[in-house]
Amino acid sequence: MEKLNLSRELIRGALSEHTDPIVACSFGKDSIAVLHLVRQFKPDVRVLWNNTLVEYPDTYKFARRIIKDWNLHVYEAKPRKTFWQVVDEVGWPVHPRNAPGKLQRATERCCKELKKIPTEQLIRIHKWDLYFTGLNRHESRLREFSAQRYGNYFFSKKWRLWKCHPILDWTVADVWEYHRMFDLPHNQLYDKDEIEIRGGIRTGCWPCPQAIRYGKLRHLQYYYPGLFHHLVVVKGLGEFILRERLQRLQGLEYQRIATYLDIGIDKVIKVRPCLFDRV
C-alpha cells in the first residue's frame, strides 16, 4: 500500500527532527489509525485527548478500554465552559463555519471554547514540539482547503509547534483497510449505522446540531432516546428548529408547524417524517 509507506516515512522523518511529540486522539477511526502508526516508531508516545465533556457514550467507553489495553499516557484537554453554557451565550451552532455573515458566530464560538482553547492551553503548558493528528482532507471543504494550503507537515505559528498529518490523503476506505490489516479495535459508534448519515457516522459532540440535514437527530433518537429527549425537548433544540422554519414558511405548512408548537415538542417528537431534520 503506497499511501501506508508514505505515511510511515513521514512519521519516521518527523520523529527524527523532534524530541517531544504528542498524538491527538479523539478515539475515532482516523486518530486510532494514526496512534497505531506512530506507536510503531515510538511505543511510549503520549496522547492528547480533547474531551469536550459531550462525547458520545460509546466514545467514553472505548477510550477507557484503549487507554487501559494500550497502556496509554493520556493528557485530557477539557473546556472551561460547557456546550450548554456556550449555547446560552451565543445560541445554537446550527450553521457551518463557512456560513455567511454572523450565521457562523455560534459555531465558531462553540468550537473555540470546547476544542481550540483547551487544546492550545495544554500544548503551551507542556511545550510539545510535534503534534500528530488524524486530519483527513476528504472529510470537509475546510479540511481540503487546509490541506492545500499547509500540506501534511508544517510549522504552525499560531500553535508554535510542528503539525504532522500522516493520513491526510487517505480515503475512508483506506482507513478501514488499515484497521482490518492490523485488526484494530474501533469505537462502537461506527457500527450504529442503520440510519443513513452521508459520509458515515462520525465521533464528536453528541448534541452538536451541525449534521441535522444528514439525519443526525434521527440517528440520535434511534440509538440514544434519552439523549435525544434531553437535547430536543429539555434543552429546547426542537422548538428552536421549528421556530426557525416558521420564519420561511407560509400557508398550510406554516399552520402545521405552528400547531405543533402549540401542542408542545414533548408530544410531537414521534411524528413521522421527523420534524427536526432540517432548520
For residues 139-148, average pLDDT: 64
Answer yes or no: are the C-beta atoms of 104 and 97 closer than 8 Å.
Answer: yes
Task: With CA atoms as reference, report the closest residue to 174 among 36, 33, 23.
Answer: 33
Number of domains in the chain: 2
Lowest mean pLDDT among 27-36, 134-143, 181-190: 134-143
Whether the pLDDT of residue 261 is over 70: the answer is: yes
Statement to judge: residues 99 and 154 lie in one domain: yes
Residue 131 falls inside a structural domain: yes
Residue 256 falls inside a structural domain: yes
Higher pLDDT, 269 or 57: 57
pLDDT of residue 198: 53
pLDDT of residue 83: 97
For residues 249-268, average pLDDT: 85
- Rg of the chain over CA atoms, in angstroms? 20
pLDDT of residue 82: 97
pLDDT of residue 201: 63
Angle at 23 (CA atoms; ends 31, 150), nearest 5 degrees: 80
Statement to judge: residues 224 and 175 lie in one domain: no
**What is the rounded average pLDDT for all residues in the chain?**
90
Lowest mean pLDDT among 44-58, 89-103, 114-128: 89-103
Statement to judge: residues 172 and 208 lie in one domain: no
> Helix or strand or coil: residue 156?
strand
Cell of 138: 476528504
pLDDT of residue 272: 78
Q: How far apart are CA 153 and CA 147, in angstroms?
A: 10
pLDDT of residue 267: 87
DSSP element (H, E) containing 241: helix 237-246
Percent of the chain, pLDDT > 90? Answer: 65
Q: Give the end of a domain, one of 158, 181, 204.
A: 181
Q: What is the CATH number of the domain that holds 61?
A: 3.40.50.620
pTM above 0.85, yes or no: yes
Statement to judge: residues 156 and 253 lie in one domain: no
Residue 91 falls inside a structural domain: yes
For residues 155-168, average pLDDT: 93
Long-range contacts of 80-87 (CB under 8 A, 24+ apart): 80/113, 80/117, 80/118, 81/113, 81/114, 82/53, 82/54, 83/52, 83/53, 83/54, 83/110, 83/114, 83/205, 83/207, 83/208, 84/235, 86/110, 86/113, 86/114, 87/235
Task: Give bridge partners of residue 164 from the DSSP assignment.
Answer: 132, 153
Statement to judge: residues 135 and 94 lie in one domain: yes
Q: Give the end of a domain, one of 114, 146, 181.
A: 181
For residues 193-207, average pLDDT: 70
Q: 221 lies in which domain range?
A: 195-268
Lowest mean pLDDT among 1-5, 95-99, 109-113, 173-177: 95-99
Statement to judge: residues 95 and 135 lie in one domain: yes
